[in-house]
Amino acid sequence: MRHPSTSSSSTTAAGGGGGGGSGGKTNTSTTTPCCSKVGLKRGPWTPEEDEVLANYINKEGEGRWRTMPKRAGLLRCGKSCRLRWMNYLRPNVKRGQIAPDEEDLILRLHRLLGNRWSLIAGRIPGRTDNEIKNYWNTHLSKKLISQGIDPRTHKPLNPDSPAEDDNKNKLSSSKFNQNLMPYADQNIVTPSLELEPVVSSNRIPVMNKGNGYYYQGSNQMLANPNPNLPNPEFSGLGLVRSINNGVGNEEDDEVNYCTDDVFSSFLNSLINEDGFNSIQHQAVQQQQQQLNGIVPCGSSDPLIISSTPTPPQNFTFGAGWDIAPIMSSGSALNHNEQLKRFHDQVDKKF
DNA sequence: AACCCTATCAACCGCCATCTG
DNA sequence: CCAGATGGCGGTTGATAGGGT
């Protein structure tokens, strides 16, 4: 294996980066000036180059990448400088082993966001999108596959899994679901109004907004790889904030306040759905134990629910989130379309 | 020792959204 | 409103390290 801290300092001849992918997009012959590498150095950065770049940015600040190399005296293209800074030289970039709690969070976030590496990285301090992407491709996707889970959809590779039955008919044949929607959590269900927020084994209300409850589908997806680990929310890791932070107040709504915090809180609510499921599981266990006379009724932990879990109350999006129509009972939209609209809004916001 | 295979990850690419004039 | 410039993103590549034969 290549040691992370040494490879980039390699002074070996050109090589390093790959030939570049198509990105799956329409190929055009146009190239930006930055992409023309005439006379520019490529491949691994040398310690000298790193020093020059770091010194320059520390003095002049980030930005204006296109012209930076010239100003800094580097024979690199702006993109290369930016990438090097963002992924390696920038302060606070954490390297080394991904901790189990980070891995857990990556899994949760990927289930919710799909391959939105920058969004995922934005919620894991010190980790870059490139690093997370690499870790996903080299570790986590294989890990999921070995567990019989499709890393792209976070659904069982075996389509006959009983956990799927509830939504299978609605989802499995969807081309949108299979191809157009790499986002992972395709079991999110937006029920119609007449549906009460009834909790079943695989349909958990996560949040509500106005008329609609937001359901989380199969709870067997993304089993916590380390059940002994607390949910980051409650672990003091500071990786995610409490959902209570996301309680939308009228003030915010009035000023059309739709910020990262709003989305962040919403995301947290989704992330913590796993914790929610875990809590539910604990509750079931507790009830069982109570029936067996093992433990006294009640729990000092306010997060431990007693019987029927209730969705987080009072959660709201900022005004910029047009979630109500998505959740609307009268909507003729099927689930996939609703979910797609939600993701579209995610895209628009971020 | 030499070769092969696999895993890793830095760096590259094209595309797209946003910014700016 | 438009066009060009710029920044940022996700997909992909390939050099390298290390283990196996």
What are the pLDDT digits (tens) for A79-91? Answer: 899 899 988 898 8
Q: Is the CB of residue A96 inside 7 Å of nucleic acid strand B?
A: no
What is the C-alpha separation between A277 and A222, in angstroms, rounded? 11
Joined tokens for residue A4: 């992370």
pLDDT tops 50 at residue A340? yes
A260-271 and A100-113 helices, crossing angle to 10°? 110
Q: Is A128 exposed, middle or buried (0-12, 13-18, 19+ CB in 10 A)?
A: buried
Q: Is the CB of residue A22 inside 7 Å of nucleic acid strand C?
A: yes
The residue among A345 and A256 whose pLDDT is bigger is A345
What is the C-alpha separation between A234 and A254, in angstroms, rounded? 31
The residue among A65 and A184 whose pLDDT is bigger is A65
- Nearest to residue A279, comparing CAs of A311, A237, A244? A311
How is A279-335 classified by DSSP, letter by letter? Answer: HHHHHHHHHHHHHTT-S-S--S-TTS-SSS--PPTTB---TT--HHHHH-TT----H
Q: What is the pLDDT of residues A44-73, one digit of tens each?
A: 899 999 999 999 988 888 888 888 888 888
Q: Is the CB of residue A8 inside 7 Å of nucleic acid strand B?
A: yes
Q: Is the CB of residue A24 inside 7 Å of nucleic acid strand C?
A: yes
Joined tokens for residue A56: 């320059």
What pTM, to 2 d.p., does this model score? 0.56
Other Cβ atoms less than 10 A from the Cβ of A23: the count is: 7
Report the pLDDT value the prediction gives residue A257, as an integer from 0 to 100.
40
Which residues of A in 55-94 have their CB below 7 Å from strand B's atoms?
76-77, 79-80, 83-84, 87-88
Residue with tokens 């992370």: A4
A260-271 and A273-291 helices, crossing angle to 10°? 40
Report the pLDDT value the prediction gives residue A97, as an integer from 0 to 100.
85
Report the pLDDT value the prediction gives residue A342, as an integer from 0 to 100.
55
Segments in chain A forming alpha helices (H): 4-7, 47-60, 68-72, 78-84, 100-113, 117-122, 129-135, 141-146, 165-171, 175, 232-235, 250-254, 260-271, 273-291, 323-327, 335-349
Joined tokens for residue A90: 């920038």
C-beta of residue A53 within 8 angstroms of C-beta of residue A81:
yes
Quickly give A2 CA vs B2 C1' distance in Å: 21
Q: Average pLDDT over chain A, rounded to whole?
A: 55
pLDDT tops 80 at residue A15? no
What is the C-alpha separation between A339 and A167, in angstroms, rounded? 14
Q: Is the CB of residue A21 inside 7 Å of nucleic acid strand B?
A: yes
Q: What is the pLDDT of residues A284-309, one digit of tens each?
A: 454 444 444 333 333 332 222 233 33
C-beta of residue A244 within 8 angstroms of C-beta of residue A269:
no
List beta partners, residue A205: A215
Q: Is the CB of residue A200 inside 7 Å of nucleic acid strand B?
A: no
Residues 6 or more apart whose CB falls under 8 angstroms from that of A330 comprise: A193
CA dihedral A222, A285, A101, A264 (to 10 degrees): 70
Joined tokens for residue A223: 């089993």
Report the pLDDT value the prediction gives residue A132, as an integer from 0 to 100.
92
Residue closest to sugar C1' of B16 by CA: A25
